[in-house]
Amino acid sequence: MTIWVFVLLAYLLGSVSFAVVSSWIFRLPDPRTYGSKNPGATNVLRSGKKAAAILTLLGDAGKGWLAVVLAQYYAPLWGVGDEGIAAVALAVFLGHVFPVFLRFQGGKGVATAVGVLLGLNLWIGLMAIATWLLAAVIGRISSLSALVAAILAPIYAVGILGFEESALAVLLMSLVLIWRHQSNIVNLMAGKEARIGEKSSSDL
């Protein structure tokens, strides 16, 4: 029963959209009303307020990290095993992608996934970030970089954590990330996806 309390709290934390929160703080339009209408850092950046976009990025990544770290600390105290930590990791991510507070219409989950990875294992998170950066330098396409990182993250997780529950959670997150980028994949195949610095629909 306790594990479901952990999962519910993680999901609710993930459902807090920092794109909406930061837009309210900086008195910007609701990010769901302009651009790609996606509540993510990239779309908030379209408002022209870099500080709001940075706050969104840090907030969305931070909630993923916080949920996992708290689970790692409190799970043993409540008799919850590694499966509970993995469930929390997945729940906070799904909360961002399908937030109850926004009628289940959330962001694509890249920033929150990075936060989750950093919480599960620092090296996995850093390797995923390095992969994104390297792919961005080479291809200069944000969505492609996210897809490459999503594909390789489960491999990093298995290599470092082994075949355990947390690695499975990373695999499921990656599959959802890839699914959420399906429109970007179509554009990539058609050669229409915008490069970094150009107008793009690829949101964090």
**Distance in angstroms (rounded) separating the CA atoms of residues 177 and 64:** 15
pLDDT of residue 204: 53
pLDDT confidence bin for 197, thresholds 50/70/90? low
Helix axes 182-190, 165-180, angle to 10 degrees: 60
pLDDT of residue 198: 60
Q: Which amino acid is at 92?
A: V
Q: Does the structure show a pLDDT above 70 at 120? A: yes
pLDDT of residue 175: 98
**Distance in angstroms (rounded) separating the CA atoms of residues 68 and 107:** 19
pLDDT of residue 193: 83
**Range scoring the smallest mean pLDDT among 10-14, 43-47, 114-118:** 43-47
pLDDT of residue 202: 44
Beta strands in 25-179 (DSSP E): none
Report in angstroms the alpha-carbon separations of 188 from 6, 144, 170, 183, 202: 38, 8, 24, 9, 11
Q: Does the structure show a pLDDT above 70 at 199? A: no
Q: Does the structure show a pLDDT above 80 at 79? A: yes
Q: Which residues contact 100 (CB under 8 A, 6 or more apart)?
A: 11, 12, 15
More confident residue, 38 or 122: 122
pLDDT of residue 203: 46
Q: Which residues contact 36 (CB under 8 A, 6 or more apart)?
A: 42, 43, 201, 203
Tell the burial category of 60 from Cβ atoms under 10 Å away from its Cβ (0-12, 13-18, 19+): buried
Instruction: Give the chain's mean pLDDT.
Output: 92
- 86: closest CA among 194, 7, 204, 162? 7
pLDDT tens-digit readout, 25-76:
999 999 999 887 889 888 898 888 899 999 999 999 999 999 999 999 999 8
- pLDDT over 90 percentage in the chain: 79
Phi, psi of 198 (to 5 degrees): -100, 170
